[in-house]
């Protein structure tokens, strides 16, 4: 089946890269190719774009692009440095990261990401490797489940949710999204208006199964090291956990050596920070949100590599 995907902050994220026609760029999350196609349309004949994605469906979509300037890598972006090194690339002129889950992943009930459908509880972005959400939930210790739901879902009823999951699987294995949603609904006593009781738990399990925050934390330093001076890092986050990681990383990398305020040291003697923050965070406008409600939570942060030596 074909599922529509609307690329969030398409123009803003690509324009933030300040594309050079002959530059080398990376799209860390190909998805359905919205950002990649726009980048290619603005590159010259000598330009190059390397894209990454875990999802076999995204890889299939990327393989439809017949362009010698483009290459797709079937891997998560945590392999960024090694994959580029294998292609003889040591520096790039821009890196774009569009985090989170794509609309096709959410809207295809068979992928098991959403409680809107009763389907096998999978949740893997890469369906060719790793345990499914069902396999993990049926084997994990109650304490581990509670920690995941609390830390990755910011669920205040995490202990109750974990206890309910363990009690339910003791009677029958948890195999579908519908089962998990019903279990959570009974354990979560109150929820914000308009939010399903299972929202936070589903987010938490998905993040854990796909190592989303861990891989983001491991990849950002790689991106910084790969950027050539003047190169741009453009990152779109969709929830507070991942945005917090991006924000702190950029702020830390944009801060030069911190010394006591009254220490007699010249500004020229203080090391230059490797990143420079560019502007304020960008959010989707009212028109885009009206056209695509999933853009509501998106936040774009942009930084530029300086001449500083890492």
34 is known to lie in a ligand binding site: yes
Q: Residue 146: which of 123, 170, 163 has the closest Cα?
A: 163
CB 160 within 8 A of CB 175: no
For the chain, what's the residue count? 310
271 is known to lie in a ligand binding site: no
- Token pair 């489940």 in the structure block, residue: 145
Other beta carbons less than 10 A from residue 172's beta carbon: 9
82 is known to lie in a ligand binding site: no
252 is known to lie in a ligand binding site: no
Q: Residue 79: which of 126, 47, 12 has the closest Cα?
A: 126
- Token pair 């799209």 in the structure block, residue: 27
Query: How is residue 104 written in tokens?
Result: 């096709």
CB 106 within 8 A of CB 177: no
Torsion of Cα atoms, 62 then 71 then 24 then 255, to 10°: 70
Q: Is 94 helix (H, G, I), strand (E, B) or coil?
A: strand
53 is known to lie in a ligand binding site: yes
77 is known to lie in a ligand binding site: yes
Phi-psi region of 230 (alpha: psi -120 to 50; beta: other; left: phi over 0): left
230 is known to lie in a ligand binding site: no
Contact partners, residue 109, CB within 8 Å, separation at least 6 = 116, 117, 118, 119, 177
Binding site for S-adenosyl-L-methionine, residues?
A: 33-35, 53, 77, 98, 105
Binding site, residues?
A: 33-35, 53, 77, 98, 105
């Amino acid at each position: 089946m074909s599922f529509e995907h609307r690329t969030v902050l398409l123009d803003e994220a690509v324009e933030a890269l300040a594309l050079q026609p002959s530059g080398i760029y990376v799209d860390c999350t190909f998805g359905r190719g919205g950002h990649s196609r726009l980048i290619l349309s603005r590159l010259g004949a000598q330009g190059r774009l390397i894209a990454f994605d875990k999802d076999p469906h995204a890889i299939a979509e990327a393989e439809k692009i017949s362009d010698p300037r483009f290459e797709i890598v079937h891997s998560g972006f945590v392999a960024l440095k090694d994959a580029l090194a294998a292609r003889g690339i040591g520096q790039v002129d821009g890196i774009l990261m569009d985090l989170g889950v794509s609309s096709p992943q959410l809207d295809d009930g068979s992928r098991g990401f959403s409680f809107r459908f009763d389907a096998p509880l999978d949740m893997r972005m890469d369906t060719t490797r790793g345990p499914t959400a069902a396999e993990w939930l049926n084997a994990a210790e109650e304490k581990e489940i509670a920690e995941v739901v609390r830390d990755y879902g910011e669920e205040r009823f995490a202990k109750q949710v974990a206890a309910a999951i363990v009690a339910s699987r003791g009677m029958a294995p948890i195999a579908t999204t519908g089962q998990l949603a019903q279990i959570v609904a009974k354990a979560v006593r109150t929820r914000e208006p308009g939010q399903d009781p299972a929202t936070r738990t589903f987010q938490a399990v998905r993040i854990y199964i796909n190592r989303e925050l861990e891989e983001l934390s491991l990849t950002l330093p790689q991106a910084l090291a790969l950027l050539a001076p003047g190169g741009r890092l453009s990152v779109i986050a969709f929830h507070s956990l991942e945005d917090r990681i991006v924000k702190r990383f950029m702020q830390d990398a944009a801060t030069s050596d911190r010394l006591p305020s009254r220490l007699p040291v010249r500004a020229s003697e203080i090391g230059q920070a490797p990143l420079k923050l560019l502007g304020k965070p960008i959010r989707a406008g009212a028109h885009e949100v009206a056209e695509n409600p999933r853009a509501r939570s998106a936040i774009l942060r942009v930084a530029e590599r300086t001449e500083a030596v890492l």
